[in-house]
Amino acid sequence: MRIPHAVCIKENPERLTIMNKTLKINPSALFDVASGLIERQRSYGAVPDIHMEEAGLFLDECLGLLFPQMARQRPKSPREVEARLIQMIGKLRYTLCEVMPEQCTRAEGIAMRFAMALPKIADQVRLDAQAAMDGDPAAGSLDEVILAYPSVYAVASYRLANLLVHEDVPLLPRLMGEYAHRLTGIDINPGATIGQGLFLDHGTAIVIGESAIIGNNVKIYQGVTLGALSVKRTLRHVKRHPTIEDDVVIYANATILGGDTVIGRGSVIGGNVWVTKSVPPGSRVMYRSVGWQGLSEPEPERADDFTI
């Protein structure tokens, strides 16, 4: 059991005496510290009135509108949903004026378009959830996938944040993405382009960069990085991350780098490989350890195999 702070001081008179002596020696010490901190805070200029937890609450409210399983209080009628939408739009308008005060006049239009896009997002994330259900033999039900799988939460969060990216909203989409990152261990930049039916199996430590392009029905295992080769900040608007075409499977801990790198449709990327060049459709890319002693004859190589 945690002992209250007051009890600790009462039962430790020596500690209380030391505290009193410290304050008597330099009574203005804390004020000087406070003054120094406030000066440093002022150096940042005007700071938007938003915190990551607030972005997370907004995100969870939106997810509750997409998935009845995620709603803390499940609505029973269109009127209840309408009331929540009105409340959500009001919160979003206020937040937009905080993160883009010089464009506050745009806030109402952005918030309304965001709300109007939710049915389409609901359809997309249903396909993502179904891809997880179809792609994992351990999945017991669609409800289990929606409630328990980090892939569904992370990808749904991305799709919501991506709506705001396309409206040129600063900060808020990144906070939404990072909130999902904290909860799931999956890091999806909200600026990425992702098709339908994405399944991030297990999910932990997957990284998808800002300019990555992912096609339809792609399956990615834990630890995969779709990243950039080292570039200067002046090239930040150049495509830096790879393109993954439709029906690709990428196994655990593979690293695929570079804006010119394209993984062709239907390819399989093996675990632990490092890829910085494009591979044609239907390829299998694998890592072969030197000196490996197999227990059986190795599988014959195909013409489209790439050995790293």
> What does each of the 308 residues of the chain score in pLDDT, given as a tens digit?
444 444 454 566 676 666 666 556 566 778 888 899 999 999 888 888 888 999 999 999 999 999 988 888 888 899 999 999 999 999 999 999 999 999 999 999 999 999 999 999 999 999 999 999 999 999 999 999 999 999 999 999 999 999 999 999 999 999 999 999 999 999 999 999 999 999 999 999 999 999 999 999 999 999 999 999 987 887 788 999 999 999 999 999 999 999 999 999 999 999 999 999 999 999 999 987 655 444 445 555 554 555 44
Q: What is the pTM of this model?
A: 0.84
Note whether residue 139 is domain-resident: yes
Per-residue three-class SS string for 18-85: HHHHHHHHCCCHHHHHHHHHHHHHHCCCCCCCCCHHHHHHHHHHHHHHHCHHHCCCCCCCHHHHHHHH
For residues 236 and 164, membership in a common domain is answered with no
Which of 130, 152, 185 is where one domain is finished? 185
Q: Which helix (H) or strand (E) holds 263?
A: strand 262-263
For the chain, the domain total comes to: 2
For residues 246 and 169, membership in a common domain is answered with no
Strand order in the sheet with 199-201: 199-201, 219-221, 249-250, 268-269, 284-286, 305-307
CATH of the domain at 268: 2.160.10.10
For residues 181 and 210, membership in a common domain is answered with no
Note whether residue 217 is domain-resident: yes
For residues 217 and 176, membership in a common domain is answered with no
Which of 185, 214, 247 is where one domain is finished? 185
Note whether residue 96 is domain-resident: yes
For residues 147 and 101, membership in a common domain is answered with yes
For residues 56 and 106, membership in a common domain is answered with yes
Give the domain range for residue 176. Answer: 50-185
Note whether residue 30 is domain-resident: no
How do 268-269 and 187-188 pair as beta strands?
A: unpaired
